[in-house]
Amino acid sequence: MTARELIVEADGGSRGNPGPAGYGAVVLDPATGETLAEAAEYIGVATNNVAEYKGLIAGLKAARELFPDAAVHVRMDSKLVVEQMSGRWKIKHPDMKPLAAEAGRVYPAGQVRYEWIPRERNKHADRLANEAMDAGRLGRQWQPADSSGSFAARDAAAARAAAAPPPSGPPGDATAGAARARAALTGTGAGRSTGTGTGGSVHAGQSDDALFPADEAVAAQARASLAAAGTAERESAAAARSGSGLAEASGDFEAEAAAEGHAGHGGRGRTPPAAEAPPAQGWTGPDMGAPATFVLLRHGETALTPEKRFSGSGGTDPELSAAGLRQAEAVAAALAARGTIQEIVSSPLTRCRQTAETVAARLGLSVRIEEGLRETDFGAWEGLTFAEVRERHAEDLDAWLASPKAEPTGGGESFATVARRVAAARDRLTAAHAGRTVLLVTHVTPIKTLIRLALGAPPESLFRMELSAASLSAVAYYTDGNASVRLLNDTAHLR
């Protein structure tokens, strides 16, 4: 007896890459094009590739619930996932291996075959993924009723279809069958929506792979974005160095690491496949209204800053030095002259609160504290210079420079941990301040992390940005999940 055949189409997307992400999957009858099941879920902050793999897993599980013995034909527009699951490409990134293994366990290998299809042929799964992300933006999970292929929508479509002649042709005619399949893909089929998925709850804690590019394809895309912005960044850095000398004494320990020649680890092997495109960009999309604009102010100098010592949230919590107080006054005057700041939010650490309060006094605003904006806890490295850390903890330092998941000596925070914390704070603040311009007074790592996430850049980019004390940067966040970096390391107000 011939096994029952099913088609699974799956997709995933991330509005920011990494950014708010979701997946969609649909199970189809290959003979009629009827929709047998749909699955979709908002998965929090993740990359495109993570979302795509999760969509595949959900689609396969939905098919298994219907027909465990079926022969399954998976169709996706992710070349990466299709080639990796077909065994033609190696899975190099360790965080992708568990997802691929989970997908491989749903059905025996001989029951599933994979096919790449153009994006325009994967519209059903793409629609479900976007519906899931839209639901997540509203603080809830996708439900079957959210689907434009839900019972109500299909009943209305069926009524319209009844008034039109059905596709013509003898039984088994390929043209008629294709017409029925197209009708099902646009929500006019008579299929049922089971809402099958991997669960409907929002993930409160994301794994490390939910914030860092999942494979080389994402990193390549990010490097291309960084290259395009390189000239502007070099000009900004040059301007800072030609001014008051703050860049040379910035206390930016990540830039210090790069200057020592240990940062990077970005040279990789073969050219990866093109990654899934990020959200639509340019001037052709719908008007998303005024963005939430975060003006990012690094605090003024402390006594540790000119000595370029690690100064995080696990150390002595130093106050601003005399130079730092002067810097705070200078940036306050500059922001008052611009007249655009509407709210002020600060890290809880003393040096940020002092900087924020100086600006607030000039602008006549209050300061709200956000715990998520505090600096990295550098563990046993607090108060040490980069050279001292290399002398005392060389192996730990090398591991920290090589991986965003490595912690400083003594149980400090990894950059992956900080990225999760900062991304969560970003999401809270963008939701609370939509359409407003907010000054965030914070530290080197949180600011660089916000810039990195906005650009979709790889973790090693943290070591390739310089951020001076009391410098200004800016990022605008739109309601569709896109972000636009407007400014980086501006120190003109200090010269």
**Start-to-end Cα distance in the chain:** 82
Alpha helices in 265-349 (DSSP H): 322-338
Q: Of all helices (H) and strands (E), which one includes residue 103?
A: helix 97-106
Name residues whose C-beta falls within 8 Å of residue 12's C-beta, 6 or more positions apart in sequence. Answer: 21, 22, 23, 24, 48, 49, 50, 51, 52, 53, 54, 55, 78, 129, 276
Q: Is 93 a catalytic residue?
A: no
Extended beta strands in 286-394, E state: 292-298, 343-346, 368-369
Encoding tokens for residue 264?
Answer: 């990077």
Peptide bond into 98 cis (omega under 30): no
The vertex-248 CA angle with 244 and 252, nearest 5°, equals 120
Q: Which residues pair with 75 in a beta bridge?
A: 9, 115
175: its two tokens: 């043209």
> HSE-up of 328 (CA within 13 Å, CB side)?
26
**E strand segments, 47-168:** 71-76, 112-116
Distance CA 183, CA 186 (A): 5
Q: Which of 38, 131, 216, 375 is catalytic?
A: 375
Catalytic residue among 299, 393, 433, 443: 299
Instruction: Give the CA distances from residue 32 to residues 160, 438, 481, in Å, rounded to whole numbers and listed in that order.
Output: 19, 54, 36
Annotated catalytic residue 375: yes
Angstrom distance (rounded) from CA 53 to CA 112: 15
- Please check whether residue 311 is in contact with residue 251, taking contact to mean a CB–CB distance below 8 angstroms: yes
- 344-368: string of b/e by CB count within 10 Å (b at 16+)? bbbbebebbbbbbbbbbebbeeebe
Residues with catalytic function: 299, 375
